Amino acid sequence: MRIIAGSHKGHTIHAPRGRDTRPTSDRVRENVFNIVGPVDGAAVLDLYAGSGAMGLEALSRGAAKAVFVERDADAVRAIERNLDKLRLSGTILRQDALAALATEAGSRRKYDLVLVDPPYDMYPDVQPQLARYLPALLSVDGVLVVETDVRVEPELPLNRRTTRKYGQARITIYDAA
């Protein structure tokens, strides 16, 4: 895997070994950021961060800050390694994404870009909590990117901008309501 664009274009990034983490492919990340548009100065929340590829891509493209939420120890080490290698700074919250989501929403923090990529089989179970908390986290012009299995169409109380299929992945992009 590599960073697609921005100040760290072409740099490789590491993912944890094993089957527990499914990094978003370079092609999908490139297409997501083409749809999202510029992220200069953005505050980014990367839930179910895995290797951190999506948040790292946002930082390379000019995001001001990124918060990575991941509970798996190997994945957290991969994010730390990637941040160190790229000399980027970010905050890593090693905890369950839904717990972090509730805490962030309760603190009234706002994000310009929220990235959500849970394990595909988990999405139906977490969708109600995502629907409850995500709208409160988005800034006025905020954008939400959700990656699911191609057969799943997320339904969240936000304005759906588009949904696209890439192999076994579906990317659905929402704008703040």
Burial class (CB in 10 A: 0-12, 13-18, 19+), 19: exposed
Place of tokens 């009234």: 108
Average pLDDT of the chain to the nearest whole number: 91
Q: What is the pLDDT of residue 173?
A: 97
pLDDT tens digit sequence for 101-156: 999 999 989 999 999 999 999 999 999 999 999 999 999 999 999 999 999 999 99
pLDDT band at 161 (very low <50, low <70, confident <90, very high): very high
Q: 81: pLDDT confidence band, cut at 50, 70 and 90?
A: very high
For the cut 80, the answer to whether the pLDDT of residue 19 exceeds it is: no
pLDDT score at 22: 60
Q: Of 40, 48, 16, 22, which Cα lies nearest the Cα of 166?
A: 22
Determine the average pLDDT of the residues in 50-55: 92
How far is the CA of 36 from the CAs of 39, 80, 94, 127, 145, in angstroms? Answer: 8, 25, 27, 22, 9
Write down all domains in the chain, each with its CATH number in brackets.
26-175 (3.40.50.150)
What pLDDT score does 2 carry? 73
How many CB atoms sit inside 10 A of residue 5's CB?
15
Please name every residue paired with 145 in a beta bridge, in sequence order, or none if there are none.
115, 173
Helix (H/G/I), strand (E/B), else coil: 63: coil
Rounded Cα distance, 31 and 33, in Å = 5
Asked if 170 contacts 149 with a C-beta cutoff of 8 angstroms, the reply is yes
pLDDT score recorded for residue 150? 95
Task: Please state, in angstroms and rounded to a whole number, the distance separating the CA atoms of residues 76 and 81.
Answer: 9
Percent of the chain with pLDDT over 70: 95
Which burial class, exposed, middle or buried, applies to 43 when counting CB atoms under 10 A from its CB (0-12, 13-18, 19+)?
buried
Higher pLDDT, 152 or 17: 152
